[in-house]
Chains A and B, each alone.
Chain A
Amino acid sequence: MPTHSLTLIGQFLQRELRNRFSGSFSGGLWALIQPLVQLAVYTFVFVHVFKARLPGSDAPGFVPFLVTALWPWTAFSEAILRSTTAVQENAALIGKIALPRKVFVFAAVGSSFLVHSLGFVAIVLILKLLGQRIDLAGLPLALLLYVPLLLLTTGLALVLSALQVFVRDLIQALGQILMLMMFAAPVFYARESLPEHLRHWLDLNPFTFYAESFRSVLLGYGHIEAPRLAIAVLVAVAAMLIGSWFFRRLDRHFEDFL
Chain B
Amino acid sequence: MTHDAALPSVLVQASGLGKRYPKVFHRRDRLRALASLMTGRRGVDSIPVLHDVHLRVRRGESLGLIGENGAGKSTLLKLIAGVLTPSEGSVRVDGRVGALLELGAGFHPEYSGRDNVTMSAVLYGLKPAELRAKLDEIIAFADIGRYIDEPVKHYSSGMVVRLGFAVVAALRPDLLITDEVLAVGDEAFQKKCIRWIEDYLGGGGTLLLVSHSMYHVQKLCRHALWLRDGGVAAYGDVFDVTQAYLAYQERKSGEQAARSQKVDASQEFAVIGVALNGVAADRPTVLECGADLQVEARIHSRDGRLPVVAFGLARADGTPVYGVTTEMESVAPVRDGDTFVARIDFPRLPLLPGSYSLRVHSMDSEGVRAFDTVERAITIRGESREFGLVRLEHRWPDAVDRARRSDTEVPDGR
**Contact for A7 among B78, B106, B127, CB less than 8 A:** B127
Instruction: Decide yes or no: A99 and B123 within 8 Å by CB, A93-B105, A93-B106, A257-B24 being known contacts.
Output: yes
Within 8 A of B (CB), among A52-106: 92-99
Q: Is the CB of B101 within 8 A of A15?
A: no
When the two chains form their complex, are residues A253 and B31 in contact, meaning their CB atoms are under 8 A apart? no
Q: Which residues of B contact A166 (CB under 8 A)?
A: 30-31, 33-34
Assuming the contacts A249-B38, A257-B24, asked whether A11 and B106 have C-beta atoms less than 8 A apart, the reply is: no
Residues of A with C-beta under 8 A to B108: 15
Q: Are B106 and A96 in contact (CB under 8 A)?
A: yes
Contact at A8–B37, with CB atoms within 8 Å?
A: no
- In whole angstroms, what is the CA distance A177 to B57 when docked? 52
The stretch of B79-87, B153-161, B225-233, B267-275 that contacts the partner chain:
B79-87
- Please state if B83 and A250 are interface contacts (CB–CB under 8 Å): no
B124 touches A11 (CB 8 A): no
Q: What residue in chain A is nearest B100 (Cβ atoms)?
A: A96
A228 to chain B, nearest CB (A): 32
Given A4-B125, A167-B30, A252-B85, verify A96-B22 contact (CB < 8 Å): no
Residues of chain A within 8 A of B128, CB atoms compared: 7
Given the interface contacts A94-B83, A98-B97, does A11 sit within 8 Å of B122 by beta carbon? yes
Asked whether B102 is an interface residue with its Cβ less than 8 Å from the other chain, the reply is yes
Chain A interface main SS type: helix
- State in angstroms the CA–CA spacing of A255 and B97 once bound together: 19
Cβ-defined contact, A253 with B30, below 8 A: no
Q: A98, B105: Cβ atoms under 8 Å?
A: no
- Asked if B55 is at the interface of the complex by the 8 Å CB criterion, the answer is no
**B99 beta carbon closer than 8 Å to chain A:** yes
Residues on the B chain within 8 Å of A98, using CB: 81-83, 97, 99
- Choice from A15, A97, A257 contacting B99 with Cβ under 8 Å: A97
Asked if B21 lies at the interface with its beta carbon under 8 angstroms from chain A, I say yes
A11 touching B85 by the CB < 8 A rule?
no
Question: Which B83-119 residues have a C-beta within 8 angstroms of A?
Answer: 83-85, 97, 99, 101-102, 105-106, 108, 110, 118-119
CB of A196 closer than 8 Å to a CB of B = no
Please give the distance in Å from A118's CB to the nearest CB on chain B. 23
Nearest-neighbor residue (CB-CB) of B126 within chain A:
A7
Tell which of B21, B24, B102, B119 touches A11, judged by Cβ atoms closer than 8 Å.
B119
Q: Is the CB of A97 within 8 A of B122?
A: no
Q: How large is the interface on A (under 10, 10 to 19, 20 to 34, 35 or more residues)?
A: 20 to 34
Interface flag for A225 (CB, 8 Å): no
Chain B residues 47-99 with CB under 8 Å of chain A are 78, 81-85, 97, 99
The tally of residues in B whose CB lies under 8 Å from a CB in A reads 33
Given A4-B125, A7-B128, A257-B24, also A97-B106 (CB < 8 A): yes
Q: Quick one: which of A3, A8, A252 contacts B123, CB cutoff 8 A? A: A8
**B371 to A: closest C-beta gap in Å:** 52
Whether the pair B83, A96 counts as a contact (CB closer than 8 A) is: yes
Cβ–Cβ < 8 Å partners of B84 in chain A:
255-256
Smallest CB gap from A254: residue in B: B85
Chain A 200-258 interface residues, beta-carbon cutoff 8 Å to B: 249-250, 252-253, 255-257
Bound: A167/B124 CA distance, A: 30
Q: Which residues of the partner chain B approach A23 to less than 8 Å between Cβ atoms?
A: 110
Instruction: Identify the closest chain B residue to A253 (Cβ).
Output: B37
Question: Are B34 and A255 in contact (CB-based, < 8 A)?
Answer: no
Q: Check B97–A253 contact: CB distance below 8 A.
A: no
On whether A97 and B30 interact (CB within 8 A), knowing A4-B125, A8-B122, A250-B37, the answer reads: no
Give Cα A250–Cα B102 distance, bound, in whole angstroms. 25
Q: What distance in Å separates the Cβ of B210 from its nearest Cβ neighbour in chain A?
A: 14
A15 CA / B82 CA spacing, docked (Å) = 24
Cα A257 to Cα B110 with chains together (Å): 27
Judging by beta carbons under 8 Å apart, are A7 and B99 in contact? Answer: no
Residue of B nearest to A93 (CB): B106
Whole-angstrom distance between the alpha carbons of A250 and B101 in the complex?
Answer: 23
Smallest beta-carbon distance B38→chain A, Å: 7
List of B residues within 8 angstroms of A94 by Cβ: 83
Report yes or no: A97 in contact with B123, Cβ–Cβ below 8 A.
Answer: yes
Give the nearest-CB partner of B81 in chain A: A98
CB-defined interface of A155-170 with B at 8 Å, one 1/0 digit per residue?
0000000010011100
Interface string of B197-220 (1 = CB under 8 A from A): 000000000000000000000000
B22 touches A257 (CB 8 A): yes
Considering only CB atoms, which chain B residue lies closest to A8 in the complex?
B122
Q: For B22, what are the chain A residues with a Cβ–Cβ distance below 8 Å?
A: 256-257
Counting chain B CB atoms within 10 Å of each CB, the highest count among A8, A11, A23, A249 belongs to: A11
Residues of B within 8 A of A8 (CB): 122-123
A46 to chain B: closest CB distance in Å? 39
Q: Is A97 touching B34 in the complex (CB atoms < 8 A)?
A: no
Instruction: Out of B30, B85, B99, B118, name the residue touching A255 (CB < 8 Å).
Output: B85
A-B contacts, 30 of them at CB < 8 A, read A4-B125, A7-B127, A8-B122, A11-B118, A11-B119, A92-B105, A93-B105, A93-B106, A93-B123, A95-B78, A96-B101, A96-B102, A97-B101, A97-B106, A98-B82, A98-B83, A98-B97, A98-B99, A166-B30, A166-B33, A167-B31, A168-B27, A168-B30, A249-B38, A253-B37, A255-B78, A255-B83, A256-B85, A257-B22, A257-B33
Nearest 7 A-B pairs (CB), nearest first? A96-B105, A98-B82, A252-B85, A166-B34, A11-B122, A166-B30, A96-B101
Q: A-contacting residues of B (Cβ < 8 Å)?
A: 21-22, 24, 27, 30-31, 33-34, 37-38, 78, 81-85, 97, 99, 101-102, 105-106, 108, 110, 118-120, 122-125, 127-128
Known A166-B33, A250-B34, A257-B22; 14 more pairs at CB < 8 Å:
A3-B127, A4-B125, A11-B119, A11-B122, A92-B105, A93-B123, A94-B83, A95-B78, A95-B101, A96-B101, A166-B30, A168-B30, A255-B85, A256-B85
